[in-house]
Amino acid sequence: MIRTRRRNMEQDFHRQVAEYLAVALNPATTTWTTFPLGGGGHTRGAILTGIGVRPGWPDVQIIHLGRFYGIELKAPGGTPSADQIACHAVIRQAGGGVQTANDIWGVLQALNGFGIPTRARPT
C-alpha cells in the first residue's frame, strides 16, 4: 500500500513539473521532455536495458542553448539510487548538468543553478 501511495505521489509530482515547465521555459531557447522509466518490474527493466535505455537516466531532460541538463524527480524523502548516482556522474563528466528535486521549488532551484531563465514561478 505504501508503494502505491509513493508511486502516485511521484506521478503527481511529474505532472506538476510538466505543467510548470510548459509555461516557465522559453521554447525559443529551451526544449524539454520527461521520460520516467521507473516501475514495471524486472522484466520491463531488462527489456528497456536491452534496447539501450541507460539505468539511472534522469526523469526530465532539458536542452538549453545546446547543452543537456537533467532533473531527477523524487517524491518527498526519496533519494537517488546507485544507478542514478552513477549515471548522473557520467552526464556531468560529459559536460551536462544534473540535479535531484523533491518538490517544485527544487525544480526551480535546479533551473536557476543551470542558468536557465524562467518566465514563471511555481504556484
Tell me the three cell numbers of residue 96.
Answer: 551536462
Q: Would the pLDDT of 63 be above 90?
A: yes
Q: How many domains does the chain have?
A: 1
Phi and psi angles of residue 101, each rounded to the nearest 5 degrees, phi first? -130, 135
Domain CATH code at residue 110: 3.40.1350.10
| CB-CB contact of 88 with 61 (8 Å) | no
Compute the distance between CA of residue 59 and CA of residue 2 in angstroms, rounded to an integer.
Answer: 22
Q: Which domain holds residue 18?
A: 2-114
Average pLDDT score over the chain: 91
Model confidence band, residue 7 (pLDDT cutoffs 50, 70, 90): low
Q: What is the pLDDT of residues 25-46, one digit of tens each?
A: 999 999 999 987 777 788 888 8
**Mean pLDDT across 69-94:** 95
| CB-CB contact of 119 with 26 (8 Å) | yes
Question: Does any domain span residue 122?
Answer: no
Question: Does any domain span residue 6?
Answer: yes
Q: How many CA atoms lie within 13 A of 113 on its CB side?
A: 15
Please tell me which residue, 90 or 1, carries the higher pLDDT value.
Answer: 90
**Mean pLDDT across 52-68:** 95
Question: Does any domain span residue 123?
Answer: no
